[in-house]
Amino acid sequence: MRIHRLAALAVVTLAFAAPALALDAIVEKKVFTLPSFTTMNGETIKYVRVGYETYGTLNAAKDNAILIPHFFSGSSHAAGKYAASDAAPGYWDAIIGPGKPIDTNKYFVLSSDTLVNLSTKDPNVITTGPATINPDTGKPYGMSFPIVTIRDFVNVQKALVDSMGITKLHAVIGASMGALQTFEWGAAYPDAVARIVPVIGGPELDAFAVGWLDLWAEPIRLDANWNKGDYYGKAEPIAGLTAALKVVTWHARYWQWAETALGRKWASPDKDPAKSWDNKYAAQTWLETAAAGRAKVSDANHFLYLVKANQLYSLGSKGNWEEGLKAIKAKVLLMPAKTDLIFFPDFSKRAAAKLKELGKTVDLVEIEGTLGHLDGLVAIPKVGDRLATFLSD
Amino acid sequence: MRIHRLAALAVVTLAFAAPALALDAIVEKKVFTLPSFTTMNGETIKYVRVGYETYGTLNAAKDNAILIPHFFSGSSHAAGKYAASDAAPGYWDAIIGPGKPIDTNKYFVLSSDTLVNLSTKDPNVITTGPATINPDTGKPYGMSFPIVTIRDFVNVQKALVDSMGITKLHAVIGASMGALQTFEWGAAYPDAVARIVPVIGGPELDAFAVGWLDLWAEPIRLDANWNKGDYYGKAEPIAGLTAALKVVTWHARYWQWAETALGRKWASPDKDPAKSWDNKYAAQTWLETAAAGRAKVSDANHFLYLVKANQLYSLGSKGNWEEGLKAIKAKVLLMPAKTDLIFFPDFSKRAAAKLKELGKTVDLVEIEGTLGHLDGLVAIPKVGDRLATFLSD
């Protein structure tokens, strides 16, 4: 009996896992170009280029498309690998693919790089921002690049979606800064999206987060090499950018993760932190290494533009998220993470209550976990069935 | 009837408030001096000076003394005013005084500045640290000052207490870094303290906080004026110190406070943050102003020494807080704050469970509020009756 039960379990597991195993697709980066783009502030950016990836097949009716906007330090690489030898697939590979919650056997998934994407030095990221050559001067824009907003990110995506002849998206699903874009899609283009799934993000950046994002950015401005954004072709503000990415990296996590992953271990077993300023805890050196790695592919000015875009965010054109929610026609599934310290789950709960009050179709599923904000990326498979059901309803 | 009930209420309120009204005592700073002090690392500091204040009267038996160690950016100014014209009294004035929970009609309250106190430029703070003149060189120590620990802070206090002929403290009560010292008193000198009340602090600095404190300190090291700590008599690292104090100031608060106090208001009603990098939200300018004010009285190297002392903290001599708890003989009252993002209440709850398991006398009272970590200073009067009962038991 015992053996039989285990065998049955194995079959179930395989049946569940099989489609997922079949899915390590090789993906490629594509480029979308706009000869001219006008920002919400009324400024013109010539020759906008953003990268995008697609998974699955657009059907003849062009009504099976799901758009995935990305998070602050993310990119359009949401699923699959560029080569079988890649260390890791795209960030949401666990939920995007054939037989997965965002099922590429059914849906055509489109994931796009934003304007001012952070990772300008990642060859697989294509973006337009302060590190881009200004065609009028032949030099990088630096801080002369126009201030852009979450709505501008969405408007570039709208142009991309339009270019494919898609008039209504089956869904928009995004995490963190991607959730802001997801909400904005619902309010800015209510007839062009049937479902929105804001994951670990709310309908505005609250005052506490506005302050925090200043603290993320501050180390860049303190680095003398930042030079008011004029560092291209010179020594770059690597120390400041690394420090900024340390804050982001830590703020997106939670104490339970830190305790389990790092604890109070010394970085070197023979180097007591009490004995020298050079002796550190593992938590300190882990953070330094993680941030230094991220800094290598990032641009400091792009970081500042992303901070500004996020700080400016309140849903809709009136700067009042409760007003903004009124325009939404899409069904809404909110997915906050329980231990999130950036977008506290309270914000999603409040938005859900308001949407319900407005007579909208709304559901909320909290993602359990100990990784804080990052559970929206890492622990989301736990609630994959709820996501799949919402998408097929 | 209605009028009678209101009148009765007024009488009750007055009866409750009257002793508190009687308490705006004028306090003075005193100085405790040690010709030589040896740190836990075995290094000697000559001519240690720390400031202290006392409220109430030491009785003949010398058994009514309560010691108050201070928090990271705090000082020995826990209650009263130096002059009637002072804008505000000491930080815990609401709970220290005649008829208040820490009742100076009954107790002799002693509050002491730590080594490496942050506020070296506050004329009412007396401390010894990197900004102090090294008597051997005639110049400030800078980063050559010995690394000091929470236990070293406690050992200086122990010498002060000994100098007064007090062999057993009625209680030690401290908030945040003061809670670490409170715990340490219980473990290091179990026969010298009858009660400990760690408020908003646990028996160790957990891995997440170890990382966060690096992020507090980072802006100082990024400021070129810091110059590896050698800035006395030169341009000081004010920008870095201000940025560091911004992180502390914000980390010690909570989103509900920020929303209520500041919201998404613009700093200037005619300056839309979307239109210019110079245009800010009120949350940004409030934070800048608050931190700049604190930076004026603070020293950057002292900040770094405090960060190190806190990072090194795990209760007891074995670097294992659970082991450390075993030594405690005092009755324990833990007071975490519900919305604390620095010392999450989980740490206090875990410590309480462990103390109970060890057969110790322990109670825990959570401080409700929306101000985060700072509720340990601001909202503690809400649980003042629980504190008073614990102290008189």
Nearest to B246 among A218, A243, A263 (CB): A218
Segment among A190-199, A241-250, B6-15, B203-212 with least mean pLDDT:
B6-15
Task: For residues A276 and A362, state if they share a domain.
Answer: no
In a domain? residue B12: no
SS3 sequence of B259-307: HHHCCCCECCCCCCCCCCCCCCEHHHHHHHHHHHHHHCCCCHHHHHHHH
Q: Give the CB-side neighbour count of residue A73, counting CA atoms within 13 A.
A: 20
In a domain? residue A16: no
B339 close to A (CB below 8 A): no
Pick the residue from chain A with its C-alpha nearest to B149.
A274
Pick the residue from chain B with its C-alpha nearest to A217.
B243
Task: For residues A163 and A99, state if they share a domain.
Answer: yes
> pTM of the predicted model, to two decimals?
0.93
A266 close to B (CB below 8 A): no
**A138 is in which domain, residue-wise?**
22-205+313-392
Task: For residues B295 and B338, state if they share a domain.
Answer: no
Rounded Cα distance between A112 and A53, Å, is 7
CB contacts of B239 in chain A (<8 Å) are 222
Q: Is the pLDDT of residue A295 over 90?
A: yes
The predicted structure's pLDDT at residue B316? 81
The predicted structure's pLDDT at residue B48? 98
The predicted structure's pLDDT at residue B169? 98
In a domain? residue A12: no
Q: Is the pLDDT of residue A19 over 90?
A: no
In a domain? residue B16: no
Tokens read off for A137: 């001067």
CA of A370 to nearest chain B CA: how many angstroms apart?
12
The residue among B255, B288, B320 with the most chain A CBs within 10 A of its CB, best to mutate, is: B255
B319 close to A (CB below 8 A): yes
Identify the band that residue A318 occupies on the pLDDT scale cut at 50, 70 and 90: confident
CB contacts of B214 in chain A (<8 Å) are 246, 283-284, 287
Helix (H, G, I), strand (E, B) or coil at A242: helix
CB contact under 8 A, A206 and B40: no
- Of A311-325, B20-34, B298-312, where does the model show the most confidence? B298-312
Rounded Cα distance between B29 and A203, Å, is 51
CATH code assigned at A237 = 1.10.1740.110
In a domain? residue A9: no
B303 close to A (CB below 8 A): no
Identify the band that residue A316 occupies on the pLDDT scale cut at 50, 70 and 90: confident
What is the average pLDDT across A196-201? 98
CA distances from B13 to B7, B20, B387 (A): 10, 11, 20
CB contacts of B261 in chain A (<8 Å) are 207
B60 close to A (CB below 8 A): no
CA of A182 to nearest chain B CA: how many angstroms apart?
20
Q: Give A251-270 pLDDT, tens digit per residue.
A: 999 999 999 999 999 999 99
Tokens read off for A23: 């899915």
Task: For residues A111 and A191, state if they share a domain.
Answer: yes
CB contacts of B341 in chain A (<8 Å) are 341
Identify the band that residue B24 occupies on the pLDDT scale cut at 50, 70 and 90: low
What does the buried/exposed string (b/e) look like for A105-124 if buried means 16 or more CB atoms within 10 Å of the residue's CB?
A: ebbbbbbbbbbbbbbbebeb
In a domain? residue A3: no
Decide if A203 contacts A321 (C-beta within 8 A). yes
What is the average pLDDT across B385-390? 98
What is the average pLDDT across B348-366? 98
Task: For residues B170 and B69, state if they share a domain.
Answer: yes
Rounded Cα distance between A329 and A45, Å, is 31
Q: How far apart are the first and last CA of chain B?
A: 39
The predicted structure's pLDDT at residue B349? 98
CATH code assigned at A52 = 3.40.50.1820
Pick the residue from chain A with its C-alpha nearest to B41.
A275
Residue B270 bears catalytic tag: no
CB contacts of A282 in chain B (<8 Å) are 207
Q: Give A79-89 pLDDT, tens digit per residue.
A: 999 999 999 99
Rounded Cα distance between A308 and B274, Å, is 8
Interface of B with A in 98-137 (CB under 8 A): none
The predicted structure's pLDDT at residue A317? 73
Q: Kindly give, in sequence order, each residue whose CB lies less than 8 Å from that of residue B146, ignoring residues fewer than 6 positions away.
A: B39, B41, B43, B45
CB contact under 8 A, B40 and A274: yes
In a domain? residue B6: no
Rounded Cα distance between A179 and A72, Å, is 10
Task: For residues A201 and A72, state if they share a domain.
Answer: yes
The predicted structure's pLDDT at residue A24? 56
What is the average pLDDT across A367-375? 98
Task: For residues A162 and A235, state if they share a domain.
Answer: no
CA of A34 to nearest chain B CA: how many angstroms apart?
23
Active-site residue identified among A176, A298, A314, A348: A176
Q: Which residue has the higher pLDDT, A99 or A20?
A: A99
Task: For residues B55 and B156, state if they share a domain.
Answer: yes
Residue A340 bears catalytic tag: yes
Task: For residues B253 and B380, state if they share a domain.
Answer: no
What does the buried/exposed string (b/e) look like for B53-69 if buried means 16 or more CB atoms within 10 Å of the residue's CB?
A: bbbbebeeeeebbbbbb
Task: For residues A28 and A123, state if they share a domain.
Answer: yes
A143 close to B (CB below 8 A): yes
A190 close to B (CB below 8 A): no
Q: Give B235-273 pLDDT, tens digit per residue.
A: 999 999 999 999 999 999 999 999 999 999 999 999 999
CB contact under 8 A, B275 and A143: no
Residue A176 bears catalytic tag: yes
Nearest to B274 among A215, A253, A312 (CB): A312
Q: What percent of chain A has pLDDT over 70?
A: 94
Number of domains into which chain A is organized: 2
Identify the band that residue B290 occupies on the pLDDT scale cut at 50, 70 and 90: very high
Q: Is the pLDDT of residue A282 over 50?
A: yes
The predicted structure's pLDDT at residue A319? 76
Nearest to B311 among A147, A243, A281 (CB): A281
CB contact under 8 A, B273 and A215: no
Q: Give A202-240 pLDDT, tens digit per residue.
A: 999 999 999 999 999 999 999 999 999 999 999 999 999
Nearest to A284 among B214, B223, B250 (CB): B214
What is the average pLDDT across A87-95? 96
Active-site residue identified among B75, B340, B348, B375: B340
DSSP B39-75: -TTS-EEEEEEEEEEEES---TTS--EEEEE--TT--
The predicted structure's pLDDT at residue B319? 76
Q: Is the pLDDT of residue A16 over 80?
A: no
Q: Is the pLDDT of residue A12 over 60?
A: no
Total residues found in chain B within this entry: 393
- Classify residue B13 by burial, with Cβ atoms within 10 Å: 0-12, 13-18, 19+: exposed
What is the average pLDDT across B371-391? 98
Q: Give B91-109 pLDDT, tens digit per residue.
A: 999 999 999 999 999 999 9
CA of A296 to nearest chain B CA: how many angstroms apart?
18
Tokens read off for B342: 């620095």
A208 close to B (CB below 8 A): yes
CB contact under 8 A, B219 and A222: yes
In a domain? residue A293: yes
Rounded Cα distance between A370 and A257, Å, is 6
Identify the band that residue A180 occupies on the pLDDT scale cut at 50, 70 and 90: very high
Active-site residue identified among B223, B314, B373, B375: B373
Interface A–B counts its CB contacts (< 8 A) at 148
Nearest to B284 among A211, A246, A273 (CB): A211
Decide if A105 contacts A111 (C-beta within 8 A). no
Q: Is the pLDDT of residue A11 over 70?
A: no
ipTM over 0.90: yes
CB contacts of A247 in chain B (<8 Å) are 215
Helix (H, G, I), strand (E, B) or coil at B1: coil
Task: For residues B221 and B96, state if they share a domain.
Answer: no
Q: Is the pLDDT of residue A2 over 90?
A: no
Q: Give B112-163 pLDDT, tens digit per residue.
A: 999 999 999 999 999 999 999 999 999 999 999 999 999 999 999 999 999 9
Task: For residues B326 and B271, state if they share a domain.
Answer: no
